[in-house]
Amino acid sequence: MSKRPPSLPAQAADMRLQMALRQIDFSTAPGPQPAEDALALRRRDWLLDVQERQRALSPYASGLLTADNLSGEDFLHGFYAAGRPVLIKGMMAGWPALDRWTPDYLAEAVGDAMVEYQGGRSAAGDYELAKDRHRRRAPFRDFIALVRDGGNDAYLTAYNSAANGPALAPLQPDLGTIDAYLTRAPGMLWIGGEGAFTPLHFDLTNNLLAQVTGTKRVILIPPSQTKRLAHRTHVFSDVRDVTDAARLAAYPQARDVLRYEVLLGPGDLLFIPIGWWHQVRSESFSTMLTYTGFHWPNAGHEGYPAG
């Protein structure tokens, strides 16, 4: 089922039930037997379902909120600490990149500096799992030529950020800061054409997506829906794409999953908390930054049971 984000005033959400869930310890000594483990999982899923039904009683509690120029204090109390996503408008006003970052401008600004990107994706179903296998290098001007006309085969992603800092440094003066939420740590740049796609997954950090140019369609799914998403490998879902009829035929439990759909345009921020499932598709040539350098702790990845 799909919900459109209502535009409501930002305020602190009541997350007591969710916090209670986080404090439940399902472990037993000397260690759970298979039957006990299965029972613990059923109890966890029961509680998650109860929480979602309670949130559904209120449009505020169950909706994906939109806020204008959200203060740092309201962001912390209403969303960051609560682990709740929010779409934020107005915080990127005045960034030169919003108007400048066309393909032609980017190619001219960075020129022939060598960059790393993800390539050969179209012929591989596991391109997100095997990121190192898809590392490619090219002059930036040639990379822009690859993605200008669209497709999912080439994509400069956050995974390439460490390698691309010096080459992309000429673009930094076009960016502003979001001091209310973030330190001055640089964001991780994404550049891709229409059709660039990141399949369904969750992250091990809180993320702030900052859309610079173009549009991206993001589908968000709360952690409570995990049992419907065939979560077997690391942070990825075998479903991959909840809009693909063929994938839903293979994984019918995902057909009625609770989800929120957001179209990000230039200047939009989207906060995605740890553990929230999401898939992202570029609907045009697009540039975006991901920020993880919040003023508050953001280290959930340290204890993740990768298994």
For 258-303, what is each residue's pLDDT tens digit? 999 999 999 999 999 999 999 999 999 999 999 999 999 998 777 7
- Kindly give, in sequence order, each residue whose CB lies less than 8 Å from that of residue 177, ignoring residues fewer than 6 positions away: 184
In this predicted structure, the answer to whether residue 19 has a pLDDT above a threshold of 50 is no
Q: Identify the pLDDT of residue 34.
A: 78
The reply to whether 71 falls in a domain is yes
Helix (H, G, I), strand (E, B) or coil at 149: coil
In a domain, 13, yes or no: no
Distance CA 196, CA 277 (A): 18
Q: Give the single-character DSSP code of 112.
A: T
Residue 173 sits in which domain range?
2-6+64-297
Q: How confident is the model at residue 304 (pLDDT cuts 50, 70, 90)?
A: confident
* Burial readout 85-117 (b: 16 or more C-beta within 10 A, e: otherwise): bbbbbebbeebebbeebebebbbebbeeeebbb
Q: Could you tell me the sign of the dihedral formed by the alpha carbons of 218, 171, 208, 115, in that order?
A: positive
Q: How confident is the model at residue 116 (pLDDT cuts 50, 70, 90)?
A: very high
Mean pLDDT along residues 130-140: 95
- Which stretch of 51-55, 96-100, 165-169 has the lowest confidence by average pLDDT? 51-55
pLDDT bracket for residue 6 (50, 70, 90): very low
Distance CA 68, CA 91 (A): 8
- Region of poorest pLDDT, from 7-11, 47-51, 216-220, 282-286: 7-11
pLDDT mean over 176-202 = 97
**Reported confidence tier of residue 155, pLDDT bands at 50, 70, 90:** very high
Residue 45 placed within a domain: no
User: At 269, which amino acid appears?
Assistant: L
Residue 51 within a domain: no
d(CA 22, CA 82): 12
**Residues in Cβ contact with 134 at an 8 Å cutoff, skipping those fewer than 6 apart:** 118, 119, 120, 121, 124, 127
Q: How far apart are CA 160 and CA 260, in angstroms?
A: 28
Residue that is written with structure tokens 């553990």 in the block = 275
Residue 49 in any domain: the answer is no
**pLDDT reported for residue 12:** 34
pLDDT (average), residues 93-112: 98
H/E segment holding residue 115: strand 114-118
Contact 138, 117 (CB under 8 A): yes
The reported pLDDT for the residue numbered 24 is: 32
Average pLDDT for 34-41: 85
CATH number of the domain that residue 146 is part of = 2.60.120.650
Looking at the domain assignment, is residue 252 inside a domain?
yes
Nearest Cα to Cα of residue 297 among 17, 80, 85: 80
- Averaged confidence pLDDT in the chain: 89
The pLDDT of residue 181: 98
Which residue is associated with the tokens 């204090």?
Answer: 73
Is residue 55 domain-resident?
no
- Whether the predicted pLDDT of 3 surpasses 70: no
Q: Write down the pLDDT at residue 32.
A: 55
Q: Quick one: what percent of the chain has pLDDT higher than 70?
A: 89
Q: Looking at the domain assignment, is residue 130 inside a domain?
A: yes
Structural domains counted in the chain:
1
Which position has the token pair 């950090």? 205
What's the pLDDT score for residue 33?
64
CB 232 within 8 A of CB 57: no
Is a pLDDT exceeding 90 seen at residue 257? yes
Check residue 90 and give its pLDDT: 97
What residues form DSSP beta bridges with 197? Answer: 281
